[in-house]
Structure 1
């Protein structure tokens, strides 16, 4: 045990005396969090929405049919009660709910106006704002057709309410994404480079024939990065709360445990990369091209996954960052508990076991 602890201390010394590694570990997370504060607008396609139609008349049915016929929206479910709207959003199945007032058609004819409430999930403010604009455009087009032969114009008045992010702050969108990128970068890339460095210098064989067992060598390499990644996660959360004024609605303990799970998943992926890389340069290229770009493009961080082509939607399911971003938004913005994110947690856990098992097999092949 003393040898193992000494080996871990040696790894910490290696990290702290390398200024470039220290900059990547601590400088870049702070810089990205503070500088990544711009809003990114995107088009939407096939966004899942729900409908609450207590009026159930010909006018509301016609509006619903027009919305369903557009390429922008897909009606996921029909809600029967207003009290069920919150649970629909908590499950994360839809991005918006359209709530038609009672006696919609009657009010439209009698009072020349009727109300549709557009309730959106504003954990992604750009998508929420785009959804609102698209629904308004469909309603205005319908209203023009309705008023074509009418002397007294009917009015359909949309009422918009943003849940989870009423002020549409872009920081609510990019903090979970940047946190995911940083933890993936530190955990996967730095781990793969660290282990590959030993192979490249020829010192890995020396370590493997030392009194330490092979699994102790790998664990000793990984532990410093677990510790440093946890510090990074804490720093990001603290900056988000005190500098960017982002509230954390859910349990900090659950957030911490899920972050540790994702860190371990990323570390396992980094170990796997090191098994197929002969040089540090190769490990870095695989990490950047094979991890960073998919995390940015296919995780739902910037671009809505539902608007991507179906092959990319299917491919996104193998990206660990996708599931972690869903977990982060659910805990930080919606304040939900484990009962709503257990599926995503199990997927990350399964990926971790798979990466570790594959890495062990690869190392056995190499040692034979």
Structure 2
């Protein structure tokens, strides 16, 4: 035990003396959380639109005022003809044109359906779809209120569960947590062990009184502790800066995160065993773990929309299950009765990787 503690202290001092490693470990989580939270937000805010009001009645003015009053859209141009729409789009200042037809107010009073035309800039299809969805919700809210008020005086209430303000943070924070912990645990662990091979000190360590397994464990412990510190830092940033409280059990979230961190550490150890240079270890870590996590874990694209073969591959990625758990616990506030299957799968992956790491380690190093 004394030898293990001594070696862990040595590894800690090695990490603390390396300023570049410290910058990656602590700078990257802060930058990514702030970047996704403020610069790369998927929310629609203050989008400039044009309006062609062919009705020019009190109802159409109320609708325009309702649209202009929210935080999502700003009415930048009032058009007089449909021919001005193309010129307005070419200027690049507006992203949508709302066309209110004639007899809009009259049709609304008698309960007839009135088609309001939404013209969007399709050069950015993702942004166009987001703008369309936000505007559709506003129009449905307006139509529902007007129609039901005239019929029975009832006003509908529209609620968006778990994210009523349609913020971007609930979408990306769980994914950023999975991605950062993956990079730190896998990449840093793999490089730390391979560095010993490249410098020739691994052979010296292996002939020392310490067991090889103790050496590997001592290499992994510092990154486990650092990963827990970084995890807590991300949660603090999310709660304080992004106004994203933890709805569920913090203890459950930390428990699952420990399983995920150990799983990633084992992946890093396996990569370090099968590689001999830092460049190869880094390439395998980034291409073999980070890219699949980004593309197939559900963080960027819905897993349900992928072809079946890609869904099968996605199920083999630990981050996919961790991402689902974090969303349920942190955003929805669910307990272990909902996520126990994901925990079992993640724990099973950890056990399988542990067996593989032990067997590969014996073959390569003993």
Residue 355 of structure 2: aligned partner:
357
What secondary structure, in the 3-state scheme, does the structure 2 residue paired with 1:163 have? coil
Residue 291 of structure 2: aligned partner:
293
Q: Distance in 2 between matches of 1:260 and 1:216?
A: 20
Residue 217 of structure 1: aligned partner:
215
Aligned-residue CA RMSD (Å): 2.8
Residue 336 of structure 1: aligned partner:
334
1:63-78 → structure 2 map (5 Å cutoff):
none
Residue 32 of structure 1: aligned partner:
32
Residue 183 of structure 1: aligned partner:
181
Deviation at 1:367, TM superposition (A): 2.8
Question: Is 1:238 paired with 2:232?
Answer: no
Q: 1:193 touches 1:283 (CA, 8 Å); kept in 2?
A: yes
Residue 2 of structure 1: aligned partner:
2
User: What 5-or-longer segments of structure 1 have no aligned partner?
Assistant: 42-110, 115-125, 141-156
Q: Distance in 1 between matches of 2:255 and 2:11?
A: 25
Residue 270 of structure 1: aligned partner:
268
Instruction: Give the TM-score normalised by structure 2.
Output: 0.69
Residue 81 of structure 2: aligned partner:
none
1:106-117 → structure 2 map (5 Å cutoff):
none
Q: Distance in 2 between matches of 1:215 and 1:365?
A: 13
Alpha carbons of 1:246 and 1:187: their partners in 2 closer, same or farther (altered >3 Å)?
same
Alpha carbons of 1:163 and 1:363: their partners in 2 closer, same or farther (altered >3 Å)?
same
Q: 1:4 touches 1:220 (CA, 8 Å); kept in 2?
A: yes
Q: Distance in 1 between matches of 2:112 and 2:312?
A: 43
What secondary structure, in the 3-state scheme, does the structure 1 residue paired with 2:166 have? coil
Residue 67 of structure 2: aligned partner:
none
Residue 52 of structure 1: aligned partner:
none
Q: 1:272 touches 1:356 (CA, 8 Å); kept in 2?
A: no
Residue 20 of structure 1: aligned partner:
20
Structure 1, residues 51-70: CA drift from partner, whole Å, max 9, x if none?
A: xxxxxxxxxxxxxxxxxxxx
Structure 1, residues 317-362: CA drift from partner, whole Å, max 9, x if none?
A: 0011100000000000110111110111111111111111111111
Q: Distance in 2 between matches of 1:251 and 1:15?
A: 32
Q: 1:176 touches 1:328 (CA, 8 Å); kept in 2?
A: yes
4+ long deviations beyond 3 Å: 111-114, 157-160
Residue 345 of structure 2: aligned partner:
347
Structure 1, residues 35-74: CA drift from partner, whole Å, max 9, x if none?
A: 1132449xxxxxxxxxxxxxxxxxxxxxxxxxxxxxxxxx
Instruction: Give the TM-score normalised by structure 1.
Output: 0.68
Deviation at 1:194, TM superposition (A): 0.4
Deviation at 1:315, TM superposition (A): 1.0
Q: Distance in 2 between matches of 1:223 and 1:276?
A: 20
What secondary structure, in the 3-state scheme, does the structure 1 residue paired with 2:167 have? coil
Q: Distance in 1 between matches of 2:42 and 2:303?
A: 15
Q: Distance in 2 between matches of 1:133 and 1:30?
A: 31
Deviation at 1:271, TM superposition (A): 0.6
Q: 1:40 touches 1:302 (CA, 8 Å); kept in 2?
A: no
Work out which of the two has the higher radius of gyration on C-alpha atoms and give 1 or 2: 2
1:123-134 → structure 2 map (5 Å cutoff):
133=133
Structure 1, residues 115-150: CA drift from partner, whole Å, max 9, x if none?
A: xxxxxxxxxxx9xx96x949x79xx9xxxxxxxxxx
